[in-house]
Structure 1
Amino acid sequence: MIVSGSASQALAASLARELEEPLAPVDSERFPDGELLASIPELESSKRAIVVASTVSSDAHVELLQLQDALGEAGVDEIVTVLPYMGYGRQDRQFDAGQPISARAVARAISTGTDRVVTVNPHETGVCDFFEPTASAVDAAGQLAEPLPADLADPVFLSPDAGAVGLAETVRDAYGTGETDYFEKTRHSGTEVEITPSDVDVAGRDVVVTDDIIATGSTMSEAIAVLGDRDVGRVFVTCIHPLLVRNAYTKLARAGVEAVYGTDTIERQASAVSVAPVLADHL
């Protein structure tokens, strides 16, 4: 049985088809005081239930906890929690004195209602250690090659920094040809990051920028704009988690990006490919 959080309905449906398991009905309502109530009507006893819920907001976190609790009350033998996108996952350490480790706090809460956790490309795999039992991370980067044009010209796959070049290599390998390189990243604070392109020759070549998550698009668009000064060919942006808040699309388009492709870990206009097949292999 697949149980969907409200932010992951398309992915949950795709996963249900991949696993050939039923998709449970889920109701959600809000009381006058603002409190949420997520429920699973017509819930039948099951050996295993898989909750698919990207925690893209505080409400999504509460909804997930309620769905887990409902399944526990129904006597489900095994509850598996799939976090396609783990909210608060980037707050994995203290950046300043007095701050919480928010990723640990939410992991502890989620752990109380599940037997197993699976997440997709967390920003730092170390967040899996905050869960009890420990979560497993699934790599869906190879899926990002699927929506790319088949006629990329001598492509260069760029990652946001040297530490993430493996992401660019995975997309390049799935695509089948190309060179990899990375942007130089300088972090000035917990929220301020400067990204500048490396010295790779991009003249007349198509560039695919790969990242695990794009939020506001500010630093990436600034870096991509410099590629235009180097006579770059077409520029495409791919990411696992297309958060793309506020005017991120506009920033990237103004920088010269032809298209943005993401997965359905966060369901957005850019969600051009599903991680359901990769998740199914791990479930």
Structure 2
Amino acid sequence: MIITGSASQTLAASLASETEHELASVAFERFPDGEQKVQIEDTVDHAIVVASTLSDSSHVELLQLQDAAREAGATEVTTVIPYMGYARQDKSFQTGDPVSARAMARALSTGTDRVLTVNPHERAVCDFFDVPATPVDAASHLATPLDSLTDPLFLAPDHGAVDLAQTVRDAYGSGEADHFEKTRHSGTDVDIEPSDAAVSGRDVVLVDDIVATGATMSESVAVLNKRGANRVTVTCVHPLLAGTAQLQLFQAGVEAIYATDTIERTVSAVSAAPAIAQKL
């Protein structure tokens, strides 16, 4: 039975349809003092808890859902984390800093037998869990809404993410994959330009795992437009899109933004459910 967190209801429903599992009834409540409570209103055998952890509150909610699943009778709990918050804090950046991804992973391990997480920022995050944890790659599904691209070029934000661009390119079926080079001259002066491929007259698809503020992506779009790109589309697995991120991207000249439903936004054009279903 699939049990959804409050931030993952659409994805959970899609996963239920994809796997033919039942979708549990879940109630969410908040007490006057701010504490939250969840209740699973069904008897559960094998629980598949689906919950993105977008906030501190959603981390607490996921811990409660895992515990509630056990109270509802689950003898096995699989936790699906479509978007794992704190995953980018995967190392101690200076003395005294926490490795927050490790702390969160250890906490979530206490209530589950197994974890699946979609396109973690670093796959090594899965090693922080005390139970078996498997990354799920949903990037190929970002090619689904792309249509009739002219001499397409798929660009990653840096060399480390070029595999994402290649995945989307391969799923689309044609085009080149490349990445941006960033040259930092000072704390605020950074040059961004495509590594090798020419962009003039071509449809360019920017591919990233996460778009947060949209600032760097907007700079990249501006560079592409100056170099004569035909159309620029932004794709990402996790559309955080904080604040005015979408506005910035459209002002920069982006034609469309496509993302998955690991974070449920208006731009969530495709579902990560088929990719998750393959790993369950």
Shorter-chain-normalised TM-score: which range? Answer: over 0.9
> Cα deviations across residues 132-170 of structure 1 (Å, max 9, x unaligned)?
113100111100000112x10001000011111111001
Is the aligned partner of 1:5 residue 2:5?
A: yes
Number of the residue aligned with 2:22: 22
- Give how far 1:193 is off: 9.9
Alpha-carbon separation, structure 2, partners of 1:96 and 1:188: 23
With 266-275 and 199-208 compared, the bigger mean Cα shift is at 199-208
Is the aligned partner of 1:40 residue 2:40?
A: yes
- Give how far 1:255 is off: 1.1
Letter in 1 for 2:14: S
> Cα deviations across residues 84-110 of structure 1 (Å, max 9, x unaligned)?
000000000011221100000000110
If the length of structure 1 is used for normalisation, what is the TM-score? Answer: 0.95
Query: Is the CA contact (8 Å cut-off) linking 1:185 and 1:193 kept in structure 2?
Result: no
Is the aligned partner of 1:262 residue 2:263?
A: no
Letter in 2 for 1:61: H
Is the aligned partner of 1:164 residue 2:167?
A: no
- Give how far 1:75 is off: 3.1
Letter in 1 for 2:240: L
With 3-12 and 160-169 compared, the bigger mean Cα shift is at 160-169
Structure 1 residues 102, 197: CA separation in 2 closer, same or farther (over 3 Å shift)?
A: same
Alpha-carbon separation, structure 1, partners of 2:184 and 2:135: 25
Letter in 2 for 1:255: A
Letter in 2 for 1:155: P
Secondary structure at 1:97 match in 2 = coil
Query: Is the CA contact (8 Å cut-off) linking 2:28 and 2:36 kept in structure 1?
Result: yes
Match of 1:184 among 159, 181, 187: 181
Match of 1:125 among 116, 123, 126: 123
With 82-91 and 131-140 compared, the bigger mean Cα shift is at 131-140
Alpha-carbon separation, structure 1, partners of 2:100 and 2:253: 35
Structure 1 segment 25-104 matched on structure 2, within 5 A: 25-41=25-41, 43-46=42-45, 48-104=46-102
Secondary structure at 1:183 match in 2 = strand
- Give how far 1:38 is off: 1.1
Number of the residue aligned with 2:244: 247
Alpha-carbon separation, structure 1, partners of 2:184 and 2:11: 33
If the length of structure 2 is used for normalisation, what is the TM-score? Answer: 0.96
Query: Is the CA contact (8 Å cut-off) linking 2:140 and 2:171 kept in structure 1?
Result: yes
Number of the residue aligned with 1:115: 113
Letter in 1 for 2:4: S
Runs of 4+ in 1 over 2 A off after TM superposition: 185-189, 191-195
Identity fraction in percent: 63
Is the aligned partner of 1:232 residue 2:236?
A: no
Query: Is the CA contact (8 Å cut-off) linking 1:4 and 1:26 kept in structure 2?
Result: yes
- Give how far 1:223 is off: 1.7
- Flag structure 1 segments of 5+ consecutive residues without an equivalent: none
Alpha-carbon separation, structure 1, partners of 2:52 and 2:182: 28
Alpha-carbon separation, structure 1, partners of 2:94 and 2:74: 42
Number of the residue aligned with 1:209: 206
Secondary structure at 2:89 match in 1 = coil
Structure 1 residues 40, 186: CA separation in 2 closer, same or farther (over 3 Å shift)?
A: farther
Number of the residue aligned with 1:220: 217
Letter in 1 for 2:239: P
Query: Is the CA contact (8 Å cut-off) linking 2:115 and 2:133 kept in structure 1?
Result: yes
For this pair of structures, how many residues does the alignment match? 279
- Give how far 1:29 is off: 0.7
- Give how far 1:195 is off: 6.3
Secondary structure at 1:62 match in 2 = helix
